[in-house]
Amino acid sequence: MRHLITGGAGFIGSYLAEALLERGHQVHILDNLSTGCMDNIQHLRRHPQFSYTIDTMFNEPLLAELIDQADQIHHLAAAVGVQLIIKSPVRTIETNTQGTELVLRHAAKKSKRVFFASTSEVYGKSQAFPFTEDGELVLGAPPKGRWSYACSKALDEFLCLAYWNEKSLPTTILRLFNTVGPRQVGHYGMVLPTFVQQALSGKPITVYGSGEQSRCFSSVHDVIDCWIAVSEESSTVGTIYNIGSDQEISINALADLVKRKTNSESEIIKIPYETAYEEGFEDMPRRVPDVQRLRKTVGMAPVTTIERIVDLVVAYQRERMVPSRPVDTPLKTRPRPLRTPVRPVDSAAVPAAEG
Ligand code: UDP
């Protein structure tokens, strides 16, 4: 099958591309490299079944053409990361809503199956633990900027289901819960790569708020296995699936775990939310998925432990750190350099997704 992945050079999209190629499919990526980067897909570039276009999904003729050439569309291009969302709310809202609308509109013209990357953020401040796909969404007030992300993603979900119900476009929604793993970067606020980077460089590990808030972290590899299993089932059309681990950990415990796994001497410090984000910032105290629907449908759910995930992330970041080079070390035996962030091709273009 021919797959189009929007936001395919992002953290999650690049793993999806890799897994689809491993299964013998053709993959084309559309990404504007605003939060994704070429490093994520470097290892795929020579694969005969792989191709990519660096451009924005708002290039409509191009998007239409790429959708036309694909059998299935995986729509991951979006503005992501709490820091980015608070800093650039206009970009967040426009990218997430208008981008998805475009993808669905063009997919509908050709009746192409669409898989939409949504987020556990849509549950907002719900207290109905664990979160079920048909449960209520409890979002905060518009003056609190963070909710624009949840709101825009929730609107996208409505649109996906509306396209299915009204226009018979086969859409499926995958709500991803705190997906982590090697290649994820902390630039946009994600906690695990940030903690590991801080611990490895001896900087303070920055716990926001009390640190008693908790999350369920899933390995990106598990998430992608579930994503593909859902995409291979015809019965999953018109349905929402939580994809997440049900193992919960507080952010304090995560900081301790990272410090222990890295043998770091970094101090763990607390930073108030208003300093870390903005005045009046609201965080979710817990976020736990109910994965019964996922298990019933595809017989699996993310299971990798947070200990194992931290090991993988630490090993990845260690490998990419540049130790001070002895003067006589030949260049070719030097470790790979730290990632150089790739600038967006078009600085006015919209960001690509990490899911
Ligand atoms: N967080 C933290 N220190 C950081 C980055 C994040 O304590 O340097 C906290 C953040 O406030 C949240 C949790 O870690 O409570 C998870 O944050 P992330 O941005 O990774 O994902 P979220 O669940 O907020 O979407």
* Whether the CB of 264 sits within 6 Å of ligand 1: no
State which CATH number among 3.40.50.720, 3.40.50.2000, 3.10.20.90, 3.30.70.270 fits the domain covering 2-248+279-349: 3.40.50.720
* pLDDT for 342: 30
Confidence of residue 341 (pLDDT cuts 50, 70, 90): very low
Name the E strands within the chain: 2-6, 26-31, 50-54, 72-75, 113-119, 171-176, 179-180, 205-208, 214-216, 218-219, 240-243, 248-250, 268-271
Tell me how far the alpha carbon of residue 84 lies from the centroid of ligand 1, in angstroms: 13
Strands (E), 55-201: 72-75, 113-119, 171-176, 179-180
| Ligand 1 contact via 197 beta carbon (within 6 Å) | no
Predicted pLDDT of residue 348: 32
Give the distance (Å) from ligand 1 centre to CA of residue 251. Answer: 8
Contacts with 125 (C-beta within 8 Å, 6 or more apart), sequence order = 138, 139, 140, 282, 284
Give me the amino acid identity at 253. A
| Pairing, β 248-250 against β 218-219 | unpaired
Helix (H, G, I), strand (E, B) or coil at 84: helix
Among all residues, which ones are annotated catalytic? Answer: 149
Residue identifier of the C-alpha nearest atom 5 of ligand 1 = 191
Instruction: Give me the pLDDT at residue 157, please.
Output: 98
pLDDT in tens, 128-151: 999 999 999 999 999 998 899 999
| Rounded distance from Cα 261 to ligand 1 centre (Å) | 19
Cβ pair 156, 96 in contact under 8 A: yes
Q: Which atom of ligand 1 lies closest to the CA of 211?
A: 7
Report how far residue 182's alpha carbon sits from residue 171's, in angstroms, rounded to the nearest whole number.
29
User: Average pLDDT of the chain?
Assistant: 91
Q: Which of the listed residues 208, 214, 310, 313 should we mutate to test ligand 1's pocket, taking the one with most ligand atoms within 8 A of CB?
A: 208
Domain ranges of the chain: 2-248+279-349
189 CA to centre of ligand 1 in angstroms: 7
Q: Is the pLDDT of residue 323 over 80?
A: no
